[in-house]
Amino acid sequence: MSALAHPRLSVEEYLKLDRSAEFKSEFYDGCMYAMSGGSPAHALIIPNVAAELRNALKQRSCTVYVTELRVRVTRNAYTYPDIAVVCGTPRFADDQKDTLINPTLLVEVLSPSTEAHDRGMKFAYYRKLESLQEYALVSQSEPRVEIFRRQSSGDWLLSESVGTDAFVRFESLDCRIALSEIYHQVEFPEQPTP
């Protein structure tokens, strides 16, 4: 059985479809991918992180955006990160002001269906963003946050915070957040007893 070839979309076609669609879709090199729904933990963690970032950055010229704002990663790649933070003036791809082009920090809450993509192809694309200083991956199965930081050499360095007593430090934002706040009201799956 052969699969039917789907015609590749231009960026303009993607943006027109995505702007009028009921559901968001990401775009990679001519192909449009519908975003999947999240779990209760996912739906709690995103606003928890966003609220803590907003509180920490209140007196600074940083803006916190949650899930609804598209990010142009390259000329042919558009994503919807769970959280995007811009320090300084937000810049947009066009007059619609729905596509950010200069994030400082991007946050993805991992789920079983997206973890490989968030760690792999998506992070490879994100590394191409000149403005991006940090990329955070937030687990929803345990209290764990991984931060990838751009080094002056261009390399990315991993830092990990684990446990509800820990704090995660966002160096690009000069702030830290308690994992107990990130995971407020989140119930973790039962771990099997050894």
Classify residue 23: in a domain, yes or no. Answer: no
pLDDT tens track, the chain, 194 positions: 334 445 789 999 999 999 999 889 999 999 999 887 778 999 999 999 999 999 999 999 999 999 889 999 999 999 999 999 999 999 999 999 999 999 999 999 999 888 999 999 999 999 999 999 999 999 999 999 999 999 999 999 999 999 999 999 999 999 999 999 999 999 987 765 55
Q: Enumerate the H helices of the chain as residue ranges.
A: 11-20, 40-57, 115-119, 121-126, 179-182
Angstrom distances, CA of residue 61 to CA of 58, 113, 168: 8, 35, 21
Classify residue 78: in a domain, yes or no. Answer: yes
Residue in 137, 114, 149, 119 with CA at minimum distance from that of residue 49: 137
Q: Is 125 helix (H, G, I), strand (E, B) or coil?
A: helix
Q: How many domains does the chain have?
A: 1
Classify residue 9: in a domain, yes or no. Answer: no
H helix and E strand count, the chain: 5, 13
> At which residue do the structure tokens 């995971």 appear?
183
Classify residue 16: in a domain, yes or no. Answer: no
Q: Is 123 helix (H, G, I), strand (E, B) or coil?
A: helix
Domain of 163, in residue numbers:
38-182
pLDDT value of position 31: 92
- CATH code for the domain in which residue 94 is found: 3.90.1570.10
| Residues with Cβ within 8 Å of residue 94, at least 6 apart in sequence | none
pLDDT value of position 5: 44
Classify residue 5: in a domain, yes or no. Answer: no
Classify residue 126: in a domain, yes or no. Answer: yes
Residue in 116, 89, 113 with CA at minimum distance from that of residue 103: 89
pLDDT value of position 106: 98
φ, ψ (nearest 5 deg) of residue 50: -60, -45
